[in-house]
Amino acid sequence: MRNGMLHIIALKEQRGKSRYTSARLVTRHKKDFLYGRIEVKAKLPAGVGTWPAIWMLPTDWSYGGWPQSGEIDIMEHVGKDEGMVHFSVHTAAYNHIQGTQKTAQQKVSNATSDFHLYRVDWTPDYIKGFFDDREVFSFENDHKGDYNTWPFDKKFYLLLNIAIGGNWGGPDVDEHIFPAAMVIDYIKYYPFIGKSE
């Protein structure tokens, strides 16, 4: 914490076989969610090789390993395409391995120098993504009762992290960007009020 804000920092330092270190904050079994609104006000790290994410994974993996039990990506940003921010969901039927993922991308001005609001609205009927309160993504439940298309009827938890390199953030990494930080002003959760199964 610095000036009342959370700083997730990636460093250039050797740790085992890794050339970089960072942190991943995880709410699993501390705060798990089933429906509602989550808002995260954040300033993203700059630089080629950075891959910050605000995302959600299933608490209990009830339908099996990834992607069967689902994934919700509230915000992903890769430094090699600065300012282009992504919102996605992954399921057994819709995922990037098959090239069928449900995703949206939007240019966010000054994403690495200013704070912006990244938000998900999640109900039994839909998942919607918002950047600065503007809807950029919508995925509807087809109500077929099939986890392959809608595994989002179970609890999920929140993750915040910065990856360095990787299969999307890399392969190139600018060695002059460190320390690279994602700064979180606040996280808010509003429970879903409505009829759910």
* Catalytic annotation, residues: 71, 76
- Sheet of strand 6-15: strand arrangement: 18-21, 6-15, 180-190, 36-43, 116-122, 126-131, 134-140
Q: What SS3 class is residue 167? A: helix
Q: Which two tokens stand for residue 188?
A: 């808010």
Q: What share of the chain is helix, strand, coil (3-state, %, to 5)?
A: 5, 50, 45
What phi and psi, each to the nearest 5 degrees, are found at residue 81? Answer: -135, 60
3-state secondary structure of 21: strand
Q: How far is CA 42 from CA 2, 39, 69, 102, in A?
A: 14, 10, 27, 23
